[in-house]
Structure 1
Amino acid sequence: MNKWIVCSLTLLWMLPTVLSVEASGRKKKKGKEEVKVELSKYDKLFKGKRSETARGGFVAVYKVDGKVYLEYPLKYMGRELLLAAASTASTDNTVCTNGYKENTPMHIRFTLEDSTVQMRKVNAVIAAKSAGERMDRIIEQNFGDPIMAKYKVLAYSPDSTAVVFDMTGIFLDEEAALSPVPKGSGLMEVTKSLNKDLSSIREVKAFEDNMSVKSQLVYKYSVTYNKARVVTDQPLTVLATRSLLLLPERKMPPRLSDRRIGVFLTSKQYVSDQGEPTERYTYANRWWLEPSDVEAYRRGELTEPVKPIVFYVDTLFPEAWKQPIREGILKWNRAFEKIGFKNVMQVREFPKDDPAFDPDNLKYSCVRYVPTGVANAMGPSWVDPTTGEILNACVLVYNNVIQMLRNWRFVQTAQVDPAVRNKELPAALVNESLAYVIAHEIGHCLGLMHNMSASAAYPVDSLRSESFTRKYGTTPSIMDYARFNYVAQPEDRGVKLMPPDLGVYDEFVIKWLYSPVYEAATIWDEAKVLETWVDEQMKDPMYRYGRQQIGGRYDPTALEEDLGDDAMKAGEYGIKNLKYILPHLNEWIADDPEATARRALYVQMVNQYYRYIRNVIYNIGGVYLSDAKEDISIERFRPVERERQKASVAWVMAQLRDCEWWDNPALLKKFPLGIMSSPTIVEAVGKQLMAAAPRVALSSSLSDEPYSMEEYFDDLYRGIWSSVLENRKLTTGDMVLQRLLLNQLNDQIRAVGGNRLGIASGNPGEVLNELYAPSAFDAECYGLDAFLLTRDFGSGYGWQRPLDVAKIDESATYYYQMVLRIRDLLESKMKSFDAEDLPHYEAMLFAMKQMLGKQAQIK
């Protein structure tokens, strides 16, 4: 018995030593024998391998023999994360824009089940008004988080507080939502194939609440534009950064949106626990601003925020750009100071000696330099999908933005500002204009959408007043596309030509977005308080919000690139200025031996002229839109007045009869061989004028005193055939318009004649979309291309979509009647036509008879 007790004690004493030997993997000698001890699973992953380790307060990440292992703490299982990707460097920045996240960050969480880590997509759309076990079960059973991927647990950490799993694939482009290469947009489609053998993991980093992995990805890519292959199997190498950010457990209280305030939104669907219908809500996207001293803030003292909004400025910018970029960012501090915060917006350069800094990491908001020929800038942001809290924003400034500013300033203000009458803008004007562009984009980063109705609040003639423009600029909102003061005439001295630094609308939105509402106990109580703020401003047009119109364009007071409350009057002033500038172009633009600069400005002037006319065309069949509440005496929609629509048709026709001044021989002979501008202008405008018919059908159906379809077609007829009706000589514009109408008649008459004439019918839905959506020329002239090619930009309120007016659109009938009128008119006048004009009219008459068929030919 004693013998067995001694043996047991001996074994107990020896056991810890044996376990220690196994864990360490060392070799022990027992006599002359050598005993090999097994490594733990954790040690096997790393021992004897080429490895790189990054360990932070959140996770540890390992790069081992070309693979990425994540050591993920068990305490963070179930916590919400954002996983994002950006291009850090590439061999072709026309495909990949460095610093831009091509896809919305993935909202995920990890869960552990048996020996598997599951990556789940967080279902952040569903929310509940009330809390409790029953509501938790309802959401869990019906709106759970779906599994996106799973990873085998390879080992536990030595202290068993974390699991290790292989995530290499997701960093080598196995997840489409994390690809740094865009799929394309609009008419452009990009396809790519990854060469895994040439791709590799380059670097891993870990910090307090995030980690990042850099991968070198090698592709072959092709580009198709409008179904035509334009690039085929070209090589592309991208250095991509993927960052994983741990979202805080303490969430920002969301703020319910108001349709009368133009902010970016996060959509929600509230589920009731009382059997009521589900409700859809949206949260306003905003940064989380809290005063560092609540009591001081409530006493009315300027208080710094707990967490300021910091933008880091790219060191790659030209040195001269950095100061105006800084000024553009800091302009917004004025609006924050009016609601009690100071030093909210802060600017820093990319730090040189901070190993934690990475501009492509989700932790840092940056202003990035993009050295491409694009003449633009943009300001996207990314949010916590559960609350709408903005966590990251980025302003991308493309190299040719200065060219865009030069064009704007010259075309819109050269009539009154001698300083812009050069090939290059003076430095002071570059700085002033660039600061404006940056301030506009920072507005987006703060949550503000475009407000395209803002400039319509100002009477046109007020834009010629020094006192008015000095106080208000050209628009109540910097988020408008109002640009520079093209209304100002050469004799107007002291008139301000710039948009405002910030308008009264911008300051109000900052107040609405960021002011704490301490008297509200819940977000629903808060929404009632904020609603009263908006109610108080609704009758003042300077606070009106007008959604940008992309798919369906109905409201002529919510347009890009316009000024004032009367498009015809503003257009008259603008055209008068263009007529003043054009003859001076050769004189003002010197040192231009190839006329390159002059030709570029000439093209911009023609585009500007088109904008003036197009703005008036939107009156025709227009409908004023408003998101006013029912208890406010503002109509949700109201057709444009009959007299304004009729006058707009006459105004446009007058412009088309008087645009040959663009064919300036002293200027055009300096340019390369090309077509005269006047027929090109007439064709572009004529198409838009004729495409207004469905809008007129809609507008007239809503009005008590309509501008009817019959009246519209009569005005169209009299305007296009005025050369015959007035017995005057044909102009080039007349011929272009009449040929355009002929083509339109040929298309529309099919609706009456059907396929009996051998003409196939089309898809009316597609036709309507074409009529209501902006044309390719519109996209170029109005700067819409960036938004047409960006999916879901500003989603939340929803754009005004094209309405199917086929049931009330009698265009085909009126076009048929117009064919009869034109036939009768030409037949009655044929003997009186000038010999030079006669062939044109004979061709027109023959075409009309062909459309009408054999009966018309026999007459």
Structure 2
Amino acid sequence: MIWRLIPVVTALSCFLFSAIHAQQTTPKEAKDSTKKNTEKGYAALLKRAKTADGLFKVHQTEADYYFEIPLSLMEKDFLLVNKISSVPMAINEAGINKGMNTSNKVIRFSLNKNAGAVWVKTIVPQAEAPASDAIALSVKDNFIGSVIESFKIEAYSPDSTAVVVKVNKVFDGSEKSFNDVFTDIGLGTSPKTALSGIEHIKSFPQNVVVRSLLSTSVTEGQSTIAVSVAVTTNLLLLPEQAMQPRFADNRVGFFTTPRWYFSDTQQKMESRDLITRWRLEPKPEDRARYLAGELTEPARPIIFYIDPSTPVQWRTYIMAGINDWQQAFEAAGFKNAIQARLVTDTADFDGDDVRYSLVTYAASPKSNAMGPAVVDPRSGEILESDVIWWHNVMTSLNYWMRIQTGIIDTGARSNEFTAEQMGHAIRFVAAHEIGHTLGLKHNMGASAAYATDSLRSAAYTARMGGTAPSIMDYARFNYVAQPEDKVTTITPNIGVYDRYAIAWGYRWLGDTVTPWQALKVQQQWIAAHAGDPLYHYGEQQNSLNTIDPRAQSEDLGDNAMKAGEYGLRNLKRLVPQIGAWTADAGDSYYQAGKLYMAAIWQWNTYIDHVITNIGGYYLEQPVQGDGQKAYTPVPKNIQQQAIQFLAKYLFTLPDWLFNAAIQEKTFAVKDTPLGPYEYGPYNMKREQQYGLLYSLLGDERLLRLLETEAAYGKEKVFTVSELLNACRKQLFAATQQGRGLTMEQRLGQQNYVDALIVSADKLMEKISKKTLTEDEAATTNLRGAVITAAQAGSNQRNLPALCDLTPRAFRMQYNTANGSNVAEAAALRNIHVSAMARTSGVAAAKRGELYTVLQLLEKSRNTGDTDTRNHYLDLILRIRQHLQLH
């Protein structure tokens, strides 16, 4: 029996010995033991890993990636930036290209010891309160971050100052918390994880760069297309001390980011918009000289690199467009503030790295350019920007210059320009896009600062340096100047407003100046130029509902009727030259057809500029004491001039344009997803005239006319009745005289009656149908575009871009057909006049006009030839059906 007790006693003795020994172990020994276990786990996990140092260490073990995140970086603000790095043909054709920024958000890593995990929270840093105020506690509790991801802690670093987490799932398509690219670009699909993965991860001192290839498929109808996109995700550590912000003022056009301020002394929350701008500050040793008015270099200049894929012959022109902004920064007190550089053998340069601003050259048939920026939402600081330069932008430049200036510039007449001629235009577009990257919005009102006739002066245009006081307008090229004027400065350039706006946003006022103090100084700068049109900012408006005729895209001068008259004179000279300018012996007339279409679009643009005056308001941003009015109706005499112009060039279509001799060789040609479309001349007349008449009779326009009549009285303003009477008098003049009608006269009457009927029907429709949301509409458009592009190789425009370089007329037709103006309308300035429009006087006016026309037709139904009588009968039946008359 004793031998059976020996193991028990031995075990008990060992247990007691171990317990006593454990009680005698020192804290240092325990710590050493924990450290050894930690080191063992860390070493085992990363035994075969390749490691890269940087903001935090990145470890790669075969296909697994680990971040070693220092505990000191927990709860710090990071900006997560997702950018497109490469795309397949299908979405290239739909307007998605390398360099485009798809999503940004602020995140924080948070150590959750209880869960043994690192949580990732997304933060909206929009609210702020003084730390010493009681309300700061409430701000903290009511604006917490939301957890979007969790990483299991795989190991601690040997010194326990960092944790190691595996990060594959947020970059390889398994999870969408960090990168949801296919939703962001409008496809609405998910990555196929078996066909997606991480390509590489790089770590730098202030950021980590992850490149992934994500694959999906898009189905539309019976077609399914595979789509793979390379996406680069940047994790950028935001500055510990955010830049001192500047508040926006609506009288100077800067992009903004919102900010809310809370304090104990308030009676309501203060909401402010922060302008977006680069952090430009004098070097510490130069600050006294800067404040004394001496030009000094900034501590950190703005540097743009030129994409190595940019064709060599265009690099110097793009760089010149960047460097043109030096003059504006000198107005802000800085020299050498903005620089253009070629990419050399910089060891750590990576075009996808958010530390580098790049002019990205996209091989694409898309004709466009854009200049977005990555912004610190805490302060409005621009951290990085990429100009996306689509190769085919030169197509638009070629057509603009030929149509607008070919008559006065012999170098702008052929299908292919000299490198110098095209380079000059490229420089202009580059400068415009760089303006956006500096924080400037479009100033569509700039061109109205110049008297129209001054654009015919060689001396004036040379002195002012272009067609408008701001390159941020869509002023384009000088179509006003006539051949005899000998004007040579015909391209937009950086002007008075641009220098003023950069100085307004960037002049350094010192370390201790608060945003509220800075705004008072900036308001004084605005007041110093009050009333001077050269410094006027005209906010961009919805292209389908432009209210202020001074702030239109692609217009010149202060009088649309006069500018249009000059433009049409040049266009009339140009149309007979189309064949000679586009085709050599043996060439097809395809290019001639496209240039002819561009000429028709230009005519459309001039007409539309004039129409905007009718029912228009001059919009201002008044402040107390400046004596300005927010809303001033366009004077009655100006609107009457507009009607006279329309009678001449819209109600009666120009024979020299629509019956041009070029139609013996080619009709007007427009490229479409299904190939070139050749528009029959009668079809083209009908489409163009109808669209413009429908715009002229639009509900919003008529509602604004009613607003002005209610406010000022019928005698002082142009009224709806006067508009309809003028249209009827011109379009039905031959009917009132009892004469037979030409085909063009019948066309005008048909378009007028149909525009009234269709718009009146829409006005009375009950809003009961389910409509797509903006996101759903965008998704539907892009899905269709991807399928169409893959099948037909189209040049389809589907996603809105910061700068739209397509012709205005085509843009308006496209937006009308596709509804893509919805987001634009929501974002741009408008006057809301359409609530309960069915109960306004618009329906009564349109129906009353139709009844008046009906009475005229009834009296004339038996006059004229057979075609005229049939035409009258058709209109009578249409109107009676609409008015439900029997």
- Which range, TM-score by smaller chain? 0.7 to 0.9
Between stretches 257-266 and 666-675, larger displacement belongs to 666-675
- Three-state SS of the structure 1 residue aligned to 2:79 is strand
CA shift for structure 1 position 654: 2.0
- Kindly indicate whether residue 850 of structure 2 is the aligned counterpart of residue 819 of structure 1: yes
Aligned to 2:76: 79
Tell me if the contact between 1:552 and 1:803 (Cα under 8 Å) persists in the aligned partners: no
Aligned partner of 1:713 among 724, 734, 738: 724
- Three-state SS of the structure 2 residue aligned to 1:547 is coil
| Amino acid in the other structure paired with 1:460 | T
Aligned to 2:810: 780
Cα distance, 1:830–1:15 mapped onto 2, change above 3 Å: closer
Tell me if the contact between 2:259 and 2:272 (Cα under 8 Å) persists in the aligned partners: yes
- Three-state SS of the structure 2 residue aligned to 1:154 is strand
Q: Distance in 1 between matches of 2:184 and 2:815?
A: 13
- Kindly indicate whether residue 531 of structure 2 is the aligned counterpart of residue 539 of structure 1: yes
Which structure ranks higher in relative contact order (CA pairs < 8 Å, sequence separation ≥ 6)? Answer: 2
Aligned partner of 2:431 among 425, 439, 456: 439
| Amino acid in the other structure paired with 2:128 | A
Aligned partner of 1:667 among 650, 662, 668: 662
Q: Distance in 1 between matches of 2:723 and 2:733?
A: 15
Cα distance, 1:339–1:133 mapped onto 2, change above 3 Å: closer
- Three-state SS of the structure 2 residue aligned to 1:405 is helix
- Kindly indicate whether residue 510 of structure 2 is the aligned counterpart of residue 518 of structure 1: yes
Aligned to 2:640: 646
Aligned residues: 813
Between stretches 137-146 and 535-544, larger displacement belongs to 137-146
- Kindly indicate whether residue 346 of structure 2 is the aligned counterpart of residue 339 of structure 1: no
CA shift for structure 1 position 841: 1.5
Cα distance, 1:579–1:61 mapped onto 2, change above 3 Å: same
CA shift for structure 1 position 206: 0.9
| 1:368-767 matches, cutoff 5 A | 368-472=360-464, 473-500=466-493, 502-518=494-510, 521-550=513-542, 552-591=545-584, 593-656=587-650, 657-671=652-666, 674-676=679-681, 677-691=684-698, 692-704=701-713, 705-747=716-758, 761=766
Cα distance, 1:9–1:120 mapped onto 2, change above 3 Å: closer
Aligned to 1:33: none
- Three-state SS of the structure 2 residue aligned to 1:619 is coil
TM-score when scaled to structure 2? Answer: 0.85
CA shift for structure 1 position 251: 1.8
Between stretches 628-637 and 258-267, larger displacement belongs to 628-637
Between stretches 661-670 and 11-20, larger displacement belongs to 11-20
Q: Distance in 2 between matches of 1:748 and 1:13?
A: 90
Q: Distance in 2 between matches of 1:179 and 1:10?
A: 50
CA shift for structure 1 position 703: 3.3
Aligned to 2:783: none
| 1:27-38 matches, cutoff 5 A | none
Q: Distance in 1 between matches of 2:320 and 2:695?
A: 41
CA shift for structure 1 position 136: 3.0
Q: Distance in 1 between matches of 2:821 and 2:162?
A: 40
| Amino acid in the other structure paired with 1:156 | Y
Aligned partner of 1:327 among 286, 297, 320: 320
CA shift for structure 1 position 728: 4.3
Q: Deviations over 1:66-95 (max 9, x none)?
A: 222111101111111011112222333336
- Three-state SS of the structure 1 residue aligned to 2:517 is helix
Q: Deviations over 1:326-384 (max 9, x none)?
A: 10000001111233211111122233351x21111211110001111111111000111
Q: Deviations over 1:727-759 (max 9, x none)?
A: 44423332223222333443466699x8xxxxx
- Three-state SS of the structure 2 residue aligned to 1:192 is coil
Cα distance, 1:182–1:498 mapped onto 2, change above 3 Å: farther
Q: Distance in 2 between matches of 1:18 and 1:629?
A: 71
| Structure 2: segments with no counterpart, 5+ residues | 1-15, 668-677, 775-799
CA shift for structure 1 position 600: 1.3
| Amino acid in the other structure paired with 2:733 | S
| Amino acid in the other structure paired with 1:669 | E
Aligned to 1:107: 106
CA shift for structure 1 position 464: 0.1
| Amino acid in the other structure paired with 1:720 | L
Between stretches 134-143 and 478-487, larger displacement belongs to 134-143
Cα distance, 1:39–1:629 mapped onto 2, change above 3 Å: closer
Aligned to 2:833: 803
Between stretches 523-532 and 803-812, larger displacement belongs to 803-812
Aligned partner of 1:247 among 235, 238, 248: 238
| Amino acid in the other structure paired with 1:746 | I
Q: Distance in 2 between matches of 1:499 and 1:97?
A: 28
Q: Distance in 1 between matches of 2:178 and 2:380?
A: 21
Q: Distance in 2 between matches of 1:844 and 1:548?
A: 39
TM-score when scaled to structure 1? Answer: 0.88
Q: Distance in 2 between matches of 1:781 and 1:737?
A: 23
Q: Deviations over 1:784-815 (max 9, x none)?
A: 979996997899x8532653254563122122
Q: Distance in 2 between matches of 1:230 and 1:517?
A: 60
| Amino acid in the other structure paired with 1:651 | F
Tell me if the contact between 1:85 and 1:180 (Cα under 8 Å) persists in the aligned partners: no
Tell me if the contact between 2:601 and 2:809 (Cα under 8 Å) persists in the aligned partners: no
Q: Distance in 1 between matches of 2:111 and 2:822?
A: 35
CA shift for structure 1 position 711: 1.9
Q: Deviations over 1:476-503 (max 9, x none)?
A: 1000000000001121113421112x11
| 1:89-128 matches, cutoff 5 A | 89-92=86-89, 93-94=92-93, 97-114=96-113, 115-128=116-129
Identity %: 32
Q: Distance in 1 between matches of 2:525 and 2:30?
A: 74
Tell me if the contact between 1:620 and 1:648 (Cα under 8 Å) persists in the aligned partners: yes
| Amino acid in the other structure paired with 1:238 | V
Cα distance, 1:549–1:9 mapped onto 2, change above 3 Å: closer
- Three-state SS of the structure 1 residue aligned to 2:194 is coil
CA shift for structure 1 position 675: 0.9
Aligned to 1:55: 53
CA shift for structure 1 position 547: 0.9
Tell me if the contact between 1:464 and 1:495 (Cα under 8 Å) persists in the aligned partners: no
CA shift for structure 1 position 104: 3.1
- Three-state SS of the structure 1 residue aligned to 2:747 is helix
